[in-house]
Amino acid sequence: MQKDSPNLPLPQKERGQSFLPPQEERTEAAAPAQQLCNREAAGSYTLQCSVETLRGAVGEAGFALFDTDLKGVKGKQNLLNALAQAANFPPEFGANWDALADALCDLSWHGEAKGYVLLLRNVSDTFGLSANDREIAQDILADTVVYWRQRNKAFWIFFV
């Protein structure tokens, strides 16, 4: 997997790679909650286990889960609104790219989570965005992963 950095866009989906493999491929030593705590591996992946398994791992690891269904979401404002609702952004959320970056890097209203998981369901390859907006969204997500890694927390993005 290519390491995320502020200068590289986060791939939309890293197909075939996951740190949460299906139950039959796991060993005790590689339990999902332990895998989530590996902040160096955190990034953007296609989810390879059930959502229920992910939910259990998130709870066991003490992470916060932001779950959003992006089926049919088209356009910047609709994407921002869906993400704001999933992460329960404060009412003063500005619904623009800068506000999204700020909100994802200040999740203090979620208490003392040990890390974060953003679960994006039914997302299209284009995120329902123009090429320019898609690039901005990808950059924000990549920067968010790096931001939290630098603060010794994992921020995972899973597509399902």
Q: Which amino acid is at 56?
A: G
Contact (CB, 8 A) for 140 and 101: yes
Identify whether 71 is part of a domain.
Answer: yes
* Residues spanned by the domain of 123: 50-159
Identify whether 143 is part of a domain.
Answer: yes
Q: Which helix (H) or strand (E) holds 158?
A: strand 154-159
- Would you list the DSSP string of 24-82? GG--GGG-HHHHHT-TTT-SEEE--S-HHHHHHHHHHHT-EEEEEE-TT--SHHHHHHH
How many domains are there within the chain? 1
Q: What would the pLDDT profile of 64-105 be if each residue is shown by its tens digit?
A: 999 999 999 999 999 999 999 999 999 999 999 999 999 999
Contact (CB, 8 A) for 71 and 121: yes
Per-residue pLDDT at 61 exceeds 90: yes
Identify whether 137 is part of a domain.
Answer: yes
- CATH number for the domain harbouring residue 144: 3.30.370.10
Q: Is 160 helix (H, G, I), strand (E, B) or coil?
A: coil
**Least reliable range by pLDDT among 5-9, 121-125, 129-133, 149-153:** 5-9
Structure tokens at 139: 């950059």
Identify whether 67 is part of a domain.
Answer: yes
Identify whether 155 is part of a domain.
Answer: yes
Does the pTM surpass 0.85? The reply is no
Residues of 63-102 as b/e, b for ≥16 C-beta within 10 angstroms? bbbbbbebeebeebeebbbbbbebbebeeebeeeeeebbe
Q: What would the pLDDT profile of 12-40 be if each residue is shown by its tens digit?
A: 344 335 555 444 444 443 488 999 999 99
